[in-house]
Amino acid sequence: MADLRETGPLSDLHRLVWTALMAALIGAGAYLIVPIGPVPVSMQPFFIFLAGYLLGPRRAVLAMGLYLLAGTIGLPVFSGGKSGLAHLIGPTGGYLFGFLATALLCGLARTADGRLPWTRGLGAGLAGVGAAYVAGAAWLKTVLDLTWTKAAAVGILPFIPWDIIKVVAALACARYLVRLAIAPR
């Protein structure tokens, strides 16, 4: 199998397709939800972690930004098939913007030679989860006029086990794709 990470006439197109694919998967992940409160459990973080691990920081943030733009202009890509600017300023808006930092941090896990070590990937994924939690809980506190304790109880604590599982699963998938040499560099 040819290494598609090489530079060549189609390498830019290859990276662009992967960026668009990851933006679409982030949107698809928003449909896979379990509503447990004001912030639903979804597969969306899994695809954001995966985007970071596979695309690197710049393209992962671009994929997340493309997803946010699609939802803002009216495509039903936010959780529950919602869209529009109002969703960005609603209770989950902080998490959506925090996911930009998540994509960036996960993107920093790849080494210069394209490897994706477990320890570095787990550290970056957990840092990304932390960034999303901080932004999300802060916005949740503001929008719903909650105390910090209540915002953490509603917007962070129920999601910790799920997000740890998603980080590990996304890292395992990314490592597999990198090993197959089909993931972009």
Architecture of domain 11-30+37-180: Orthogonal Bundle (1.10)
pLDDT recorded at residue 80: 80
pLDDT recorded at residue 179: 86
Domain range summary for the chain, segments of one domain joined by +: 11-30+37-180
Whether the full predicted model's pTM is greater than 0.85, yes or no, is yes
Instruction: Name the more confident of 119 and 38.
Output: 119
Q: What is the band of 184 on the pLDDT scale with cuts at 50, 70, 90?
A: low
**pLDDT above 90: residue 21:** yes
pLDDT recorded at residue 11: 81
Task: Catalogue the E-assigned strands of the chain.
Answer: 33-34, 41-42
Q: What is the band of 37 on the pLDDT scale with cuts at 50, 70, 90?
A: low
Question: DSSP for 126-178?
Answer: HHHHHHHHHHHHHHHHHHHT--HHHHHHHHTGGGHHHHHHHHHHHHHHHHHHH
Q: State what percent of residues in the chain have pLDDT above 90.
A: 72
pLDDT recorded at residue 6: 55
Average pLDDT over residues 41-66: 96
pLDDT recorded at residue 10: 81
pLDDT recorded at residue 52: 97
